[in-house]
Amino acid sequence: MSGILEAHNIAKSYGDFKAVKGVTFGIEDGEIFSLLGPNGAGKTTTISMLSTLFAPTSGDATIGGHSVTKESMAVRRIIGVVPQDLALYEDLTGRENLSFWGQMYGLGGAALKARVSEVLEQVGLTDKGNQRIKTYSGGMKRRVNIGVGLLHKPRLLFMDEPTVGIDPQSRRAILDTVKDLNRQGMSVLYTTHYMEEAQELSHRIGIIDHGELIALGTLQELTRSIGELETLRLHVTEDADAGRLAEALRTIPGVTRVDAADHQAVLTAPDAEEALPAVVSKANEIGIKIRSIDIEEPNLEAVFLNLTGRALRD
Amino acid sequence: MWLAAFARGIEIEVMKKLFIIGIKDLTLALRDRAALILMFAAPLVLTLGLGLVTGRFSGQSDNNGLRDIPVVLVNQDDGRIGAELVNVFTSPDVGTLVKPISDTDPAVARKRVDDDKVAAAVIIPAGYSASIIPAANNASGVPAGDKKIEIYVNPAQPVGAGVIRSIVDEFVARVQAGRVSGLIAITLLIENGLLKPADAAAYGQDFGRRQNGPAQTIITVRRTSDAGTPPPTVDILAVLAPGMALLFLMYTVTRGGATLLAERDNGTLARMLVTPTSATQIIGGKVIGIFLTAVVQVAVLIVGSGLLFNLHWGDPIGVAALVLAVAAGATGWGMVIAAFARTTAMVGSLGAAVMLMFGVLGGSFGDNFPLPDFLLALGKITPNAWGIKGFTGLASGGVLGDVLPNIIALCVMAVALFAVSVWLFRRNGFIKQ
């Protein structure tokens, strides 16, 4: 495989604030690459620089061999962008929106008409194409938003958190669409803060936090990097102090990381089952009632927790 | 050769993008119900309303504005001056401006006014001439006393009533001037022994006859064309209709400018910027969108007011050129307002203020706002002033050549304001390469 994207130490600062602190990674042709990180980690800023929306403060990237800083027009012809927020005209129909954006990518005439119909079919909105966007449900709008990015058959598609705020059914449809597109040969740079999405979709994953790429590799490589640690998720009652429980659990031998969030205490240990009796005993000792316990195989949550000391949803 | 063709191809592609964005904006404007009401319905309704207020639709008008103003004349005077005033109203010099009818009973005449049948009643009292010209048996040569002409006006037809009052005032002023000069002349002649006191009355009557002889012109309708062609008349609606159109044109261009900021807020601007389209093309496209919307609005209002109010706008080429020019001038202002404002809300409030200010300064409300000279001069910066004058000129029989200065002024305004807006957009960081 050859690289469709090569980012070299790209950084973006706003005054003294460094939103992205020199990120280097590459995406292979035909690959789905996920940038995983919590809100405010620098995912959208990274995608904005790579899609030529604004220039990096330093560093550069090439897409299809073209520099994003020096050959922005050439880059724009081979990329598609699906922004996090809907970017559509509510008073135009779905078909009119696609037609307008298709023209902005240089399509026209019969080819445009045919492509708009194809994309409407691809996103499952053929029968709703002549209705105005403002009459669509949130999920339908998301699908048109994705469709706009596909019109000119880009080689590399940027998808910035495309499933935020939608129902599980629409989320499922979007994830399936991404896989379909990839099967057709399209490379995808997918940003998300949902660990499950990154795990399901990605060939490789980059974990980004506070503007830095802190880990990069396949799912297997990343989980192996933390030593096959298992995750123990303890759900406590709503009136219980999960933070106090987390503090108490730190003293248990073998526990490598502990974090508390959303009435949960999350800890990693080489053998969760072995640590379990001591965990329950400690909870009883400090008077905190545990409602349920999940034992999870090594996953990205554990990786993130291990790398940052914080849960991904923080 | 092929290189030139390639360059031409690129130029066409660049221009195509501008129109793609522009037509999208026009489509969106025409789908915005609130905008449609303010762009088309409001100006026509206000024109209609102002037309009613000014009495344009009252009486037996043949839809040509200030003509055939209905007036009832009651002449109870048996002298020459009363007859002369009646002659003024029926003279060709007044043309078709008034449509007088006669009556003998002042009460009946006033009733006609009260019933909104006429714009005014002019009642010349008995002995009016004698109060101006001394009687034959008056040895001093001094007139008998004061008698006043009564003008009973219809408040529902203020313009028509104002015209009647002006005619009578002008007549009375001339009569009074003649009376005073006659008295001075007689007194000087007697003092110098050139006239016997016994002959004073006869001399005074003769003087009066000469002063109020025939062919005294009170009001003349100005003719701008050769003799033999019908005199042009200016319909009040030919001022009000473009006035209202241009007032609300400022709303349209302001709204257009606001869409640029709305594109930024809605994320569609960012999405456009990641297509193979430059920031300059996007701004250019937005300008085209505002311009096209403005052209459609003014064209519809001009044609619509012509059909609704039976207005004749004159030279179609001149009208078309003027429509394009006012749309361009106003578009320039829309861009400057958008570039100056930071938010769509700010564009809205700033735009409303500019719209009203330009309406007053530019004469959209007619000449009802007496302005000092410097504000009248300031009005020249508004598309309203140039546009209204242009449309009124065309409606009065002007042709393209007559409104060329207006068109040039509006085009210069458009270019200058576009340059200012680009500078402002660059300064506030809106345009970044």
Chain segment A72-119, per-residue pLDDT in tens: 999 999 999 999 999 999 999 999 999 999 999 999 999 999 999 999
The answer to whether B12 faces chain A, any CB pair under 8 Å, is: no
For residue B23, tell me if it sits in a domain: yes
CA gap B405, B172 in Å, rounded: 40
Quick one: pLDDT at residue B214? 44
The CA angle A21-A23-A29, to the nearest 5 degrees, is 160
Domains in chain B, number: 2
- Same-domain check for residues B204 and B264: no
Cβ distance of A87 and B32 shorter than 8 Å: no
Q: What is the pLDDT along chain B (433 residues), one digit of tens a residue?
A: 555 666 666 677 778 999 999 999 999 999 999 999 999 999 999 888 887 776 666 543 444 446 678 899 999 988 888 888 888 888 876 767 788 899 989 999 999 988 888 889 999 998 888 887 665 555 555 555 577 888 898 776 767 777 788 788 878 877 776 665 566 656 656 666 656 666 665 665 565 555 454 444 444 444 334 444 444 556 778 888 999 999 999 999 999 999 999 999 999 999 999 999 998 899 999 999 999 999 999 999 999 998 888 888 989 999 999 999 999 999 999 999 999 888 888 998 999 999 999 999 998 887 656 678 888 889 999 999 999 999 988 988 889 999 999 999 999 999 999 999 989 988 887 765 4
Distance from first CA to last CA of chain A, Å, rounded?
36
Other C-beta atoms closer than 10 Å to the C-beta of B341 total 22
For residue B224, tell me if it sits in a domain: no
- Same-domain check for residues B204 and B240: no
| Element holding A258 (H helix, E strand) | strand A257-261
- Same-domain check for residues B240 and B137: no
For residue B433, tell me if it sits in a domain: no
Quick one: pLDDT at residue A268? 86
Residue appearing with tokens 């699908």: A143
The interface predicted TM-score (ipTM) is 0.83
CB contact at 8 A, A151 and A101: yes
Cβ distance of B24 and A92 shorter than 8 Å: yes
CA gap A40, B418 in Å, rounded: 38
* Helices (H), ranges, B192-278: 200-211, 236-266, 268-273
Across the interface, which of B27, B268, B276 has its CB nearest the CB of A76?
Answer: B276
Residue B202's nearest CA partner among B249, B282, B137 is: B137
The answer to whether A253 faces chain B, any CB pair under 8 Å, is: no
Between the CA atoms of A206, A211, A214 and A217, what dihedral angle is there, to the nearest 10 degrees?
10
Residue appearing with tokens 């020199």: A22
Find all residues with CB under 8 Å of A76, minimum gap 6, and list them: A51, A52, B274, B275, B276, B277
CB contact at 8 A, A235 and A263: yes
Supply B170's token pair: 């002008």
- Same-domain check for residues B274 and B300: yes
Residue appearing with tokens 């719209």: B355
Burial of B107 (0-12, 13-18, 19+ CB in 10 A): exposed
Coil, strand or helix at B310:
coil
Other C-beta atoms closer than 10 Å to the C-beta of B226 total 6
CATH number of the domain within which B185 lies: 3.40.1710
CB contact at 8 A, A30 and A185: yes
Cβ distance of A87 and B267 shorter than 8 Å: yes
- Angle between helix axes B42-53 and B236-266 (nearest 10 degrees) is 150
Coil, strand or helix at B361:
helix
- Same-domain check for residues B154 and B186: yes
Q: Mutate one of B33, B271, B430, B431 to test the A interface: name it (highest A CB count within 10 A).
A: B271
Q: Is A30 left (phi over 0), alpha (psi -120 to 50) or beta?
A: left
For residue B217, tell me if it sits in a domain: no
Tens digits of residue pLDDT in A255-272: 888 888 888 998 888 888
CB contact at 8 A, A173 and A1: no
Question: Which pairing describes strands A212-217 and A66-67: parallel, antiparallel, or unpaired?
Answer: unpaired
For residue B133, tell me if it sits in a domain: yes
DSSP summary character for residue A187: E
- Same-domain check for residues B183 and B253: no
- Same-domain check for residues B342 and B410: yes
For residue B5, tell me if it sits in a domain: no
The answer to whether B280 faces chain A, any CB pair under 8 Å, is: no
Task: Give the DSSP per-residue string, B370-382.
Answer: ---HHHHHHGGGS
- Same-domain check for residues B248 and B339: yes
For residue B127, tell me if it sits in a domain: yes
Question: Which pairing describes strands A212-217 and A264-269: parallel, antiparallel, or unpaired?
Answer: unpaired
CB contact at 8 A, B334 and B358: no
Query: Global pTM?
Result: 0.71
* Helices (H), ranges, A123-155: 138-150
For residue B169, tell me if it sits in a domain: yes
- Same-domain check for residues B164 and B294: no
Other C-beta atoms closer than 10 Å to the C-beta of A221 total 13
- Same-domain check for residues B327 and B248: yes
Residue B160's nearest CA partner among B56, B60, B235 is: B56
CA gap B409, B329 in Å, rounded: 9
Supply B250's token pair: 């400022």
- Same-domain check for residues B53 and B74: no
Q: Is A280 left (phi over 0), alpha (psi -120 to 50) or beta?
A: alpha
Sign of the C-alpha dihedral, residues A68, A71, A77, A83?
positive
Cβ distance of B274 and A53 shorter than 8 Å: yes
Contacts of B277 in chain A (CB under 8 A): 76, 104
Could you tell me the residue range of the domain that residue B162 belongs to?
A: 69-211
| Phi–psi pair at A125, nearest 5 degrees | -125, 25
Quick one: pLDDT at residue B91? 80
Q: Give percent above pLDDT 90 in chain A.
A: 68
| pLDDT higher at A121 or B227 | A121
- Same-domain check for residues B77 and B191: yes
Cβ distance of A88 and B24 shorter than 8 Å: no
The answer to whether B185 faces chain A, any CB pair under 8 Å, is: no
Identify the closest residue of chain B to A47 by CA–CA distance.
B274
Question: Which pairing describes strands A58-63 and A66-67: parallel, antiparallel, or unpaired?
Answer: antiparallel
Identify the closest residue of chain B to A132 by CA–CA distance.
B31
DSSP summary character for residue B38: I
The CA angle A157-A159-A162, to the nearest 5 degrees, is 145
